[in-house]
Copies of this chain bind each other. A is one copy, B any other.
């Protein structure tokens, strides 16, 4: 590749003059700049960013660590964050890591590459080394929050979200309600199950009627658990999910098993991925403004990186959610009527939580 030295030789100026011209330094005459720029174009010179970083310059690279890019949630985050970064002149280096070892390995690479900052959705219990590295890299946490780490955090109101969704079902008269969510132990899962239980308390409903299922956020687990629940002696009359992936898996299973919704089972989904509105009678679901979350996070973080504004390390920000009521939820035990009214609705009723 062409170096500044070659540009200097070709143009007859010194290396530093070339450097300054490229940095648009005020001390270089307009004419010289033009001349150098011509040579640059001719030779196809491309700046060497690593060399600049070695000298102490900042890298303009933001690491983004996500558990799964095919999940609509995270794809939206990647998209919004990438847009932010682009506007501020940053690049996104991204890493898909769904287990602590991959996470650790990738983080080491990102730190080694001297990224300017890091946006991370941490795994359930990161390795010691990961935690140690994080203390040397400027970062924010997204969605999930490590109890051990005091770094800034941006997330959604998981507890309130599940509480409101569960309340919706309780209000319709359901009691045997099943919660199906990701692995217990994740900060998000903790908050969500808390919201689920809170709704039962608030409604003076018997907590013994509640069913709680935790597992991997995979299609396999979703299929397995919904089949088991429906086959049990006392199947739930309603189900609420606490993960996008699980929601997809459950919708798929219910569709294949031809379960009549909401006649046999009322369903509340998590997230509002494309297609949820046309599933069966339309899926009642918890919609998160994940794009706003990511944008808020990106703007705040990049601003802090650029302006070196330190100060408030304990920043945290929560985005509210909405309950989108479609056809998949109805009053308990009204089979006949439901079968008629469970047609796709033209306009979704949207409620702010």
Q: Mark A250-279, 1 if CB is under 8 A from B, else 0.
A: 011001101000000000000001111111
User: In the complex, which residues 77-117 of chain A have their Cβ closer than 8 Å to any Cβ of chain B?
Assistant: 78-79, 82-83, 86, 91-96, 102, 105-106, 108-114
A50 within 8 A of B: yes
A350 within 8 A of B: no
Contact B108 A46 (CB under 8 A): yes
Contact B53 A50 (CB under 8 A): yes
Given A44-B136, A136-B44, A346-B256, A274–B277 Cβ distance below 8 Å? no
Q: For chain A, give the interface size range.
A: 35 or more
A69 within 8 A of B: yes
CA distance A61 to B113 in the complex (A): 10
CA distance A253 to B55 in the complex (A): 56
Contact B102 A95 (CB under 8 A): no
Who on chain B is nearest to A111 by CB? B46
Copies of the polypeptide in the assembly? 2
Q: Which of B50, B59, B132 contacts A44 (CB 8 A)?
A: B132
Who on chain B is nearest to A133 by CB? B46
Contact B78 A69 (CB under 8 A): yes
A207 within 8 A of B: no
Q: Mark A49-76, 1 if CB is under 8 A from B, else 0.
A: 1110110000111000000111010011
Query: Which residues from B are CB-within-8-Å of A235?
Result: none
- A-B interface, 10 closest residue pairs, ranked by CB to CB distance from nearest: A275-B275, A50-B50, A50-B53, A49-B112, A255-B278, A47-B112, A93-B93, A46-B111, A82-B96, A70-B75
A174 within 8 A of B: no
Given A248-B274, A278-B279, A91–B108 Cβ distance below 8 Å? no
Contact B61 A70 (CB under 8 A): no
Contact B252 A277 (CB under 8 A): yes
A125 within 8 A of B: no
Contact A46 B112 (CB under 8 A): yes
Nearest chain B CB to A24's CB is how many angstroms away? Answer: 16
Query: Which residues from B are CB-within-8-Å of A330?
Result: none
Query: Which residues from B are CB-within-8-Å of A273?
Result: 274-275
Contact B46 A136 (CB under 8 A): yes
Who on chain B is nearest to A278 by CB? B255
A14 within 8 A of B: no
Who on chain B is nearest to A102 by CB? B86
Q: Mark A19-43, 1 if CB is under 8 A from B, else 0.
A: 0000000000000000000000000
A48 within 8 A of B: yes
A1 within 8 A of B: yes
Nearest chain B CB to A44's CB is how many angstroms away? Answer: 6
Contact A136 B1 (CB under 8 A): yes
A280 within 8 A of B: yes
Nearest chain B CB to A84's CB is how many angstroms away? Answer: 11
Query: Which residues from B are CB-within-8-Å of A183?
Result: none
A82-B95, A258-B344 are known; give 17 further A-B pairs, CB within 8 A. Answer: A1-B136, A44-B133, A44-B136, A50-B53, A60-B109, A68-B79, A69-B75, A69-B78, A70-B72, A70-B76, A86-B102, A91-B95, A91-B109, A91-B113, A92-B95, A252-B277, A278-B280
